[in-house]
Amino acid sequence: MHKYLGIDVGTTGLKGLVVSEEGELLDSYSYELDMKVPKPAWAEQEPEDWWIGVYEILKKVSRTHQIDVIGFSGQMHSLVVLDENNEPIRPAILWCDQRTTPQCKEATEAFGGEEKVISKIGNPFLEGFTFPKILWLKENEKENFKKIKKILLPKDYVVFKLTGTIGIDYSDASGTACFNVKTNYWDEEILETFGINMDIMPELYPSYGIRGEVKESLQKELGWKNTKVVSGGADNASAAFGIGISKAGESMVSIGTSGTVLTLTDKKEPDLSGKIHYFNSVIQDKYYYMGVMLSAAHSLNWVKNRFFHSSDWTEIEKRINQSVPGSNGIIFLPYLNGERTPHRDPNARGVFFGISSLNTENDILRATMEGITFGLRDSFELIKEKTEIKDMRIVGGGAKNKSWAKIVATNFKMPVKMPKIDEGGAYGAAMLAAVGDGQQLEDVLKWVKFKEIIEPNYQDIKIYDDYYEAYKNLYKSLKGNFEELAKIQK
């Protein structure tokens, strides 16, 4: 029996899954990672730490399993810079790092405005994306910039350490903000306009294309034979593939630390308003629209840890059911660390609005979940304007709470399906490995099964519609106040 290893190179940790050639989950491994915050709003990690963690996982896996193909999924957008000896020049600058606001502004202006940028690269220049980080290095770390021979994304660095080959797959390339969505190649004009040498961009590969064998010395050490590696994909694209999303209209809502809503599409048509992202999927000629909330389950954790630290998740679910839809008048804005979709506002902050002396702590808790759901609904509504949403699959830690999944289904006014295996990008990465091993894409997609379908609560639709309108209006009213607060805090 062939076995596959799917590894997700996440921000808070690594996850490794050993999967049989029929898709059965055989074993699971994890490794925690630290994130450095050298200055407020900065976020960095040492590429070597990802490699140390992956190496640890490989050693543990090898005690029980011979692996035939390894696949990767990885945090998107984070920049790794290599020198002429293929050594990292400095720590990686991560997707959640916000230092590049001036570079994004300058680049958008120099390039003739946001619409032109979006029509080429599918997205605006956003703080989190890779290209503005290269520009930041050019302006702020001139010596480091001069040393750059290649740039990579996190999972690609690990693939390099494993195989010695340098490259990137299309799904991660499309998140760099210098990849042209029309030509499916690096955008020469953008690179040239900003004086970035095309040679530093890695070669492009399909996500399930074999990139090479694990280095001989390492295979020997692990006791493996003929272990191959595929390029892998961006974490969101891999996670979607891992729950069987392969046709236009199939969609995912993920309630993890951050929150995402994405829908697969055949359209070569980015969102020119720049509110939702447009990236290549791990499947050739398929793309996806995606909205990203920065603090989804993170907001709930904040409330739980500060005010309900003695409650476990079962009690949290009980408590929200002791309140009512609409949380007896409380609205929560889940913008603890600013927001990406739909506002693109780093100054936005969390708000509990409408508290009266009749409210209980359970109303606060329910309002938190409802506010996060409204944030996801913002992305859902924007995607619906671009394309048809045919089905919805729900994943992430928050989806373990069925009452919350019901609130999501009611707000989206459609059933949400719970996959049997909900392991994020790592399972999708193992599926990519299986395709790289020669299995048919359609057969691998059949691995995905669902354990439950949650229907909307039709009687609550009207009340959620009303509160959702109030939620949207609240941000509009407070936008100026958030700016004022940010100025005072500076």
Ligand X SMILES: Nc1ncnc2c1ncn2[C@@H]1O[C@H](COP(=O)(O)OP(=O)(O)O)[C@@H](O)[C@H]1O
Ligand Y SMILES: O=C(CO)[C@@H](O)[C@H](O)COP(=O)(O)O
What's CA 451's distance to the chain center, in Å?
Answer: 24
Q: From residue 91, how far is each of 43, 130, 303 by CA, in Å?
A: 10, 14, 32
Q: Is 12 in the site for ligand X (CB under 6 A)?
A: yes
Instruction: Find the shortest distance in angstroms from Cβ 340 to ligand Y.
Output: 8
Binding mask 206-245 for ligand Y (x = CB under 6 A): -----------------------------xx---------
Among 5, 11, 224, 327, binds ligand Y (CB under 6 A): 11
Q: Binder to ligand X among 203, 307, 313, 318 (CB under 6 A)?
A: 313
What is the DSSP pairing of strand 228-230 with strand 210-213?
antiparallel
The DSSP line for 286-354 is -EEEEEEESSSHHHHHHHHHHH-TT--HHHHHHHHHHS-TTGGG-EEE--BTBB-TTT-BTT---EEE-
Distances (CA, A) of 60 to 27, 51, 97: 11, 14, 32
- The size of the chain, in residues, is 490
Closest by Cα among 230, 138, 236, 135 to 178: 135
Task: Specify the residue for token string 């804005």.
Answer: 333
User: Counting contacts by CB under 6 A, is residue 174 touching ligand Y?
Assistant: no
156 noted as active-site residue: no
Q: Is 396 in the site for ligand X (CB under 6 A)?
A: yes
Using the minimum distance from each CB to ligand Y, give the nearer residue, 129 or 145: 129
Build a one-symbol-per-residue string for 264-303: x at contacts with ligand Y by CB under 6 A, - elsewhere: ----------------------------x-----------
Question: Are the CB atoms for 311 and 157 separated by under 8 Å?
Answer: no
Residue 435, token pair as written in the block? 């395709």
Query: According to the annotation, is 65 in a ligand binding site?
Result: no
**Can residue 401 be called a binding residue for ligand Y (CB under 6 A)?**
no
100 binds ligand Y (CB under 6 A): no
Cβ neighbours of 194 (radius 10 Å) = 18
Q: Does 375 bind ligand Y (CB under 6 A)?
A: no
Determine, following the binding rule CB under 6 A, whether residue 397 of this chain makes contact with ligand X. Answer: yes
76 binds ligand Y (CB under 6 A): yes
Q: Is 75 in the site for ligand Y (CB under 6 A)?
A: yes
Q: How far is CA 468 from the centre of its chain?
A: 25
Per CB under 6 A, 386 contacts ligand Y = no
Q: Give the nearest distance from C-beta 78 to ligand Y in angstroms.
A: 8
CA distance 489 to 476: 21
10 binding ligand Y? (CB under 6 A): yes
Q: Does 400 bind ligand X (CB under 6 A)?
A: yes
Per-residue interface string for the shown chain with ligand X, residues 210-249, x marking contact by CB under 6 A:
----------------------------------------
Contact between 398 and ligand X (CB under 6 A)? yes
Establish if 307 lies at the interface with ligand X (CB under 6 A): no
Q: Pick from ligand Y, ligand X, none: which does 144 bind, CB < 5 to 8 A by kind?
A: none
By CB under 6 A, is residue 411 in contact with ligand Y?
Answer: no
Distance from the Cα of residue 312 to its chain's centroid: 27
- Which residue in 235, 363, 378, 422 is the catalytic one? 235
HSE toward the beta carbon, residue 361, CA cutoff 13 A: 11
Instruction: Output b/e per residue, 64-99; b: 16+ Cβ within 10 A.
Output: ebebbbbbbbbbbbbbbbbeeeeebbbbbbbbbbeb
| Cβ at position 195, least distance to ligand Y in Å | 26
- 73/328 with CB nearer ligand Y: 73
Number of residues interacting with ligand Y: please give it, by CB under 6 A. 12
Q: Which does 62 bind (CB under 5 to 8 A by kind): ligand X, ligand Y, none?
A: none
> Which residue lies nearer to ligand X by CB, 72 or 404?
404
Residue 277, marked binder: no
Among 30, 144, 184, 301, binds ligand X (CB under 6 A): 301
Q: Considering beta carbons, is residue 300 or 409 the nearer one to ligand X?
A: 300
- Binding of ligand X by 401 (CB under 6 A): yes
The residue whose two tokens read 């696949």 is 71
Other Cβ atoms within 10 Å of 217 Cβ, number: 8
Site membership for ligand X, residue 257 (CB under 6 A): yes
d(CA 385, CA 403): 27
CA within 13 Å, CB half, 245? 40
331: left (phi over 0), alpha (psi -120 to 50) or beta: beta
Binding site for ligand Y (CB under 6 A): 10-11, 75-77, 95, 128, 235-236, 257-258, 292
Residues at the annotated binding site for substrate? 76-77
Residues involved in catalysis: 235
- Return residues touching ligand X (CB under 6 A): 10, 12, 256-257, 297, 300-301, 313, 396-398, 400-401, 404
Which segments are annotated as binding site? 76-77
